[in-house]
Amino acid sequence: MIITIIAGGIYYLKLPNRHKSIVKTKLLHKLGLVDGTWHITTTDSSIALITPTFVIDNIYKSMEGPSATIPFRIDPTKSDLVWLHAFETNAMSTNEKDLLSNDYICHTNINYYDGEHYTRWILNERVGEQYPRLTSLSNGIEAFQFPEGFGFPVFTNENLFLATQALNHNIKGDAFSVKHKVTLGYKKHSPEMKPLMPRTLFIMLPYNSNKPYEGPTNQDPNMCLPVDTKQHSYVDDSGQHLSGHWVVFKGKATYQYDVTKQLRLKDSTTMHHIAVHLHPFAETMEFRDKTLDTTLFVSIAENHKDKIGLKKVSYFSSVDGIMLYPDHNYELVLKVNNTSDVNQDMMGSMFVFLFDKEMAEKTKAYNQLQ
């Protein structure tokens, strides 16, 4: 037993910060040392999910902190069609009443199960087409609503999935505890509602798969230094390894990536909302039409001046929308300025919502059956 404990301790000490937080959080919850349960409250217009307790005992950068996940349904006893339209996450005390700084929110991901979701609408060809992320809230953009009259249609007994993770860029010393409260707002079905289709666009940068942690060199300055080759790592059609989570060095840098394939436009449609995910030291991220050489939207990231973290990240929301075309090429352009004295990590994503013509036809048919 002593040998096992020693071996386990040595193994734990060698783990990266992210995996240490996973082990600690699971042990704390399973041993009952902190609250390990989810608390869920539903009204006729919202569902609020309060996480188990997260113990913050270290500096946890993006993607490193304690986390929790849960599958859920708005109301498993009914099969009513509702429209998700509002999203909010807050850091709070373990008494589940007092709000804390949103500096302790890394990200909150809301997913749907595409197999269940699209087969209910007889849109089977969409199953497996993309990762089924509806949206994400993160440090600097902890709440937003779709433009009036738009939403994402789900049934109240449909399975959804929530993942949320804590963050701590600045506080050292004694451990403390936080929870996250995630609130999803929805509207009862009405024929006037217009469906949105989510698309996740993100920057990916090449790296040398043979020497992944060598980073950029004089011979190949376009290579990035990935944070972790097992997470957010991809391979494109040509066999090039790409990372969506990379290291930024001191000073200014600009990154860009063609996202035309990620958009997968089959027809012209309008874009009505963009939620943005960035890390500290990002300054701006543009969504550009390369074909017309025009910028369609610029998200501005406001960094705290006296500590590490994002104070505010702007997003796009419009009833009229912006027209996108299947024969155009689109890209993301990210500008960063690492003003610290050490390397930092970076991601750049946009959760884009397009008017869903196919789903609009399905909801019209649903309206006629009511």
Q: Which of 193, 214, 238 is the last residue of a domain?
A: 193
Q: Is residue 368 part of a domain?
A: no
Q: How far is CA 153 from CA 120, 190, 221, 316, in A?
A: 11, 11, 45, 20
Structure tokens, 277: 């995910």
Distances (CA, A) of 175 to 55, 246, 251: 7, 28, 32
**Structure-block tokens of residue 84:** 């998700």
In terms of DSSP H, where are the helices of 254-327? 260-263
Domains identified in the chain, total number: 2
Q: How far is CA 114 from CA 62, 79, 130, in A?
A: 27, 17, 9
For residue 369, being part of any structural domain is answered with no
Domain boundary among 159, 174, 193: 193
185, 262 Cβ separation under 8 angstroms: no
Residues 9 and 51 in one domain: yes
Do residues 76 and 154 make contact, with C-beta atoms less than 8 angstroms apart?
Answer: no
How many C-beta atoms lie closer than 10 Å to residue 11's C-beta? 10
352 touches 135 (CB < 8 A) = no
Q: 280 and 179 in one domain? A: no
Same-domain check for residues 21 and 150: yes
Q: How far apart are CA 361 and CA 358, in angstroms?
A: 5
Residue pLDDT tens, the chain, 370 long? 777 656 566 555 566 777 788 889 999 999 999 999 999 999 999 999 999 999 999 999 988 999 999 999 999 999 999 999 999 999 999 999 999 999 999 999 999 999 999 999 999 999 999 999 999 999 999 999 999 999 999 999 999 999 999 999 999 989 999 999 999 999 999 989 999 999 999 999 999 999 988 888 888 888 999 998 888 999 998 999 999 999 999 999 999 999 999 999 999 999 999 999 999 999 999 999 999 999 999 999 999 999 999 999 999 999 999 999 999 999 999 999 999 999 999 999 999 999 999 999 999 888 655 5
Same domain, 94 and 172: yes
Rounded Cα distance between 233 and 239, Å, is: 12
Domain range enclosing 17? 2-193
Q: Is 280 left (phi over 0), alpha (psi -120 to 50) or beta?
A: beta
CATH classification of the domain holding 299: 2.60.120
Decide if 364 is inside a domain: no
Domain end, chosen from 193, 210, 242, is at 193
Residues 188 and 205 placed together within one structural domain of the fold: no
